[in-house]
Amino acid sequence: MNVLLIIVIFNFEAGSEVETRVDFEDEAACQAAALDAFLAVDKNAQIHAIDVPAGQEMLEGTMIVYGETGGEIGMYACNVSRATLQRQDG
């Protein structure tokens, strides 16, 4: 199984950084990689499930990350890649 990580690290001065990776064997490894990326930005990063307002859509499992001062520093989602799901169904 391949798990896809989509990660956005907010940088309001230089522009946000977006990274995608699909090299994870399971969701736990993907979650660990996301945490490592945010800890490199802020050693006190805290991850929370994102509250999606009614009428808006978001990738399943999207998480928001807050820094030491309580401001948002990024967001990410880990999901099984569609190619993996198609191979399992086919």
Give the pLDDT of residue 46. Answer: 96
Entry pTM: 0.82
- Closest to 9 in 3D by CA, of 55, 45, 50, 44: 45
Q: Rounded CA gap, 27 and 23, in Å?
A: 11
**Structure tokens that stand for 25 in this block:** 């064997």
**Residue ranges of the alpha helices (H) in the chain?**
27-41, 82-89
pLDDT in tens, 34-72: 999 999 999 999 999 988 888 888 888 899 999 999 999
CA 79 to chain centre: 9
Q: Rounded CA gap, 77 and 24, in Å?
A: 13
- pLDDT band of 1, cuts 50, 70, 90: confident
- pLDDT band of 90, cuts 50, 70, 90: low
